Amino acid sequence: MEVARSERWSPTAHRLGIASAIGIFGIGVCYVAVIALWMIIEATPREPIGDPYLAVMEVLTILSALALAGLVIALWFF
C-alpha cells in the first residue's frame, strides 16, 4: 500500500526541514566569517590555519553535519 506524499509530509517534518536549512545557511555564514577573520588577522601564505580558528571551524563542521542529517530526514519524509 503506497502512502501519499501529503500524508507523510507532516508539519513537523516541514518545520524540521526549514530549521535545518536555515541552520545550514547560518553555519555556512559563520564558517566563512571565521575564515575571513583568520585571513584578516593572522593569514600568512605558507602557514596552515591553526588554533583557535581551526577548532572553531571543526565545531562548525560537526554542527553542519547534524543540521544536514536533519535536512535529509525531512527530505525523506517528502
37/17 Cα distance (integer angstroms):
30
Per-residue pLDDT tens for 9-66? 788 888 989 999 999 999 999 999 999 999 888 877 678 888 898 999 999 999 999 9
Residue 69 has pLDDT above 90, yes or no: yes
C-alpha neighbours within 13 Å on the C-beta side of residue 22: 6
Question: Domain segments of the chain: what residues?
Answer: 48-78
> Which cell numbers hold the place of 12?
513537523
* 1-19 pLDDT per residue, tens: 555 555 667 888 889 899 9
Contact between 20 and 74 (Cβ < 8 Å): yes
pTM: 0.78
Q: What does the alpha-carbon distance between residue 41 and residue 34 come to, in Å, rounded to a whole number?
A: 10
